[in-house]
Amino acid sequence: MHLIFMGPPGAGKGTQAQLLSALWKIPHISTGDILRACVVAKTELGQKAQSYMDRGELVPDELLMDIVQERMNQSDARAGWILDGFPRTVAQAAFFDKLLCEVGVGGGGSSSGKDCDLRAVNLDVPDNILVARLLSRGRQDDNEETIRRRLQVYREQTEPLIEFYRNREQLVAVDGDRAMESVTAQLQQALSGDS
């Protein structure tokens, strides 16, 4: 099972990815966690990434892909994985698709993606619920204005990504505005029916 988890900040992606990762015994791969781990371990890719982060710049797609690929080649990821936080744009998704084809997960260039062992899961939650959830976390940098800005950026970058996977018949949309257990059950049902 190869899953990409998408959803706005506060939708519960990380929580659901961790629950399903434990349930299905496949790794939950968070690109943010990988980047931090590479930097801490001072790997060659980590040092390259650090140089961008030190300058306050985004890590380029190619470098991010190399880091994701390195992680996906580890033995625990052979049976599948849940990817959280990547891809974030259509350009990254197209780049990622090429990588998946190389490692035998991709659709072999199939435009429909039907023969591709990949599902993109979108946790859909209304903005007013997301704002309330994020404000309740009580993080210092989380005020309503910054939260709404982050949601706007997410929508601008990720709405086209949702269409990208919908057009390829790889999208699984789940209502994330429910109790955590209910969302988990809905995900299990939606995804086990596909595999």
What order of strands is seen across the sheet that includes strand 171-175? 28-30, 81-84, 2-6, 119-124, 171-175
**Above 90 in pLDDT, residue 166?**
yes
**Residue 23 in 3-state DSSP?**
helix
Give CA–CA dist 4/122, Å, rounded: 8
What's this model's pTM, rounded to 2 decimal places? 0.82
Residue 157 banded pLDDT, cuts 50, 70, 90? confident
**Above 50 in pLDDT, residue 115?**
no
Residue 116 banded pLDDT, cuts 50, 70, 90? low
**β-strands 81-84, 2-6 pairing:** parallel
**Above 90 in pLDDT, residue 130?**
yes
What DSSP state is assigned to residue 57?
A: P
Give CA–CA dist 88/65, Å, rounded: 12
Give CA–CA dist 42/35, Å, rounded: 10
For helices 44-54 and 31-41, what crossing angle results, to 10°?
110
**Above 70 in pLDDT, residue 110?**
no
The residues assigned a catalytic role are: 13, 88, 137, 139, 150
**pLDDT tens, position by position, 23-62:** 999 999 998 888 888 889 999 989 998 998 888 787 888 8
Are 73 and 43 contacting, i.e. CB atoms less than 8 angstroms apart?
A: no
Looking at residue 55, its amino acid is R
Give the pLDDT score at 193.
66
Are 95 and 61 contacting, i.e. CB atoms less than 8 angstroms apart?
A: yes
Give CA–CA dist 38/67, Å, rounded: 8
| Average pLDDT of the chain, as a whole number | 87
CA dist 173 → 38, 46, 90, 95, 164 (Å):
32, 34, 18, 23, 13
179 vs 153, residue with greater confidence: 179
What mean pLDDT comes out for the span 164-176?
A: 95
